[in-house]
């Protein structure tokens, strides 16, 4: 699909490297007061008076993090930004700028990169962040996308992973496991397509989980909501690798243990029904499936009244002393040690 067989498409050689950056970024507008100078110099210039800055970066590799046979480039651009903004929000900070570098082989026509940047731009507009820098270069094989996100927060509201306390409640936003099951649907359809290219998949009954995989939304709203509820989490992390792996990061960095309750884990009905269809255990998927980009945080018990009625939040357990370890309490009331398995690990099981 992406091979440049269509002669009406524009090859990257025609444009050259400098022309390419200019072309791809010409419609990006600067919206943040903190952006003094954006794209077009050796470096961007930002000004953050009297605040703390947060910086995070991620590298996405074709064939490892995405498969262009079923991921539209516009969605990929959007998601590449989300992955990084999610890390900023997980610090309880506001995202304000991003840089994007890409490496592409000549098999991509200009129009493909325009699609990618249309997705990046949609993310910038929806989340009010400025694209302030980047780099385009050639690749010998696949597409590589590197995004760095910059955000800000006052020093006393930044929330790390290392400050959860025994007795704190463990809270998850939204629902989890959906992005992983969406990936299973897309992988299955790819396999079907290989056998019969004329087959038109009907993905309607999987719409939610496929969208969670292809077009995740970082939880900027949660940072704002927590502020308006006057809740400062004691620790926070985003769920990129599965609930189990993330809570273990908090436990390790905070020197605490935890008990999570299987019956409390928030699952969308589509996740449950699709797990049944695939013969998978939905709890396992929620614990070890990744890419949901929900937030996982801990709060002091005194904050419980502020969040208990809120449909965005589910209390899934509590923090314990480190000596008690990290466990899942099953519906059958058995206690199972939590194990860190990234979602990639699931594929080889």
Give contact residues for its own copies (rule: CB under 8 A): 17-18, 36-37, 40-59, 61-65, 86-88, 90-91, 93, 97, 99, 101-103, 132-135, 137-142, 144, 146, 148-151, 155, 158, 160-162, 236-238, 253, 340, 342
Tokens 């809740």 sit at which residue? 231
- Residue 134 assigned ligand-binding role: yes
Nearer to its own copies, 3 or 156 (CB): 156
- Residue 343 assigned ligand-binding role: yes
Nearer to its own copies, 44 or 179 (CB): 44
CB of 205 to its own copies, least distance (A): 33
Q: Three-class SS of residue 216? A: coil
| Tokens at 54, concatenated | 């947060």
Q: Determine contact, residues 68/2, Cβ cutoff 8 Å.
A: yes
Closest CA to 296 of 181, 156, 179, 168: 168
Q: Determine contact, residues 153/92, Cβ cutoff 8 Å.
A: yes
CB of 1 to its own copies, least distance (A): 19
- Residue 56 assigned ligand-binding role: yes
Phi, psi of 10 (to 5 degrees): -95, 125
- Residue 334 assigned ligand-binding role: no
Q: Determine contact, residues 94/88, Cβ cutoff 8 Å.
A: yes
Nearer to its own copies, 36 or 125 (CB): 36
Nearer to its own copies, 137 or 330 (CB): 137
- Residue 117 assigned ligand-binding role: yes
CA dihedral sign of residues 191, 192, 198, 204: negative
Distances (CA, A) of 53 to 29, 133, 156, 164: 22, 17, 12, 22
Nearer to its own copies, 97 or 274 (CB): 97
Q: Determine contact, residues 180/342, Cβ cutoff 8 Å.
A: no
Nearer to its own copies, 143 or 271 (CB): 143
Nearer to its own copies, 137 or 301 (CB): 137
Nearer to its own copies, 132 or 316 (CB): 132
CB of 256 to its own copies, least distance (A): 16
Tokens 């999987």 sit at which residue? 206
Q: Determine contact, residues 208/267, Cβ cutoff 8 Å.
A: no
Q: Determine contact, residues 203/210, Cβ cutoff 8 Å.
A: yes
CB of 134 to its own copies, least distance (A): 6
- Residue 292 assigned ligand-binding role: no
CB of 192 to its own copies, least distance (A): 24
CB of 235 to its own copies, least distance (A): 10
Q: What one-character-per-residue DSSP string does 67-123 give? A: -TTTS-HHHHHHHHHHHHHHHHHTTT-EEEEEEEEEEE-TTS-HHHHHHHHHHHHHH
CB of 147 to its own copies, least distance (A): 9
- Residue 57 assigned ligand-binding role: yes
Burial class (CB in 10 A: 0-12, 13-18, 19+), 232: middle
**Using only C-alpha atoms, what is the Rg of the chain?**
21
- Residue 240 assigned ligand-binding role: yes
- Residue 87 assigned ligand-binding role: yes
Phi, psi of 237 (to 5 degrees): -155, 155
CB of 252 to its own copies, least distance (A): 9
CA angle 183, 187, 189 (to 5 degrees): 115
- Residue 65 assigned ligand-binding role: yes
Binding-site positions for Mg(2+): 42, 56-58, 87, 135, 238, 241
Binding-site positions for ATP: 117, 134-135, 161, 240
Binding-site positions: 42, 56-58, 65, 87, 117, 134-135, 161, 238, 240-241, 291, 343
């Amino acid at each position: 699909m992406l091979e440049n067989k269509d002669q009406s498409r524009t090859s990257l050689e025609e444009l050259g490297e400098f022309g390419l950056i200019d072309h791809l970024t010409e419609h990006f507008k600067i919206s943040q007061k903190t952006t003094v100078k954006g794209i077009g110099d050796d470096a961007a210039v930002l000004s953050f008076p009297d605040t703390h800055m947060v910086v995070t970066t991620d590298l996405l590799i074709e064939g490892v993090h995405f498969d262009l046979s079923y991921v539209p480039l516009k969605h990929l651009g959007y998601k590449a930004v989300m992955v990084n903004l999610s890390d900023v929000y997980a610090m309880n900070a506001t995202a304000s700028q991003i840089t994007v570098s890409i490496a592409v082989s000549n098999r991509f026509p200009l129009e493909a990169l325009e699609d990618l940047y249309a997705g990046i731009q949609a993310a910038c507009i929806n989340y009010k962040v400025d694209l302030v820098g980047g780099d385009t270069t050639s690749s010998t094989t696949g597409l590589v996308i590197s995004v760095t996100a910059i955000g800000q927060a006052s020093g006393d509201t930044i929330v790390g992973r290392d400050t959860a306390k025994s007795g704190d409640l463990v809270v998850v936003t939204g629902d989890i496991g959906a992005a992983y099951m969406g990936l299973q649907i897309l992988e299955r359809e790819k396999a079907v397509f290989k056998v019969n290219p004329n087959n038109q998949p009907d993905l309607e009954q999987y719409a939610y989980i496929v969208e969670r995989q292809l077009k995740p939304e970082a939880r900027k709203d949660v940072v704002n909501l927590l502020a308006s509820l006057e809740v400062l989490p004691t620790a926070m992390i985003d769920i990129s690798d599965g609930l189990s792996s993330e809570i273990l990061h908090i436990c390790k960095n905070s020197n605490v243990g935890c008990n999570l309750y299987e019956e409390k884990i928030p699952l969308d009905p589509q996740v449950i029904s699709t797990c049944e269809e695939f013969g998978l255990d939905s709890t396992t998927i929620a614990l070890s499936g990744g890419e949901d980009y929900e937030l996982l945080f801990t709060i002091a018990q005194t904050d419980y009244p502020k969040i208990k009625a809120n449909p965005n939040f589910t209390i899934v357990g509590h923090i314990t002393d480190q000596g008690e370890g990290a466990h899942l309490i099953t519906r059958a009331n058995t206690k199972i040690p939590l194990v860190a398995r990234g979602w990639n690990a699931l594929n080889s099981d």
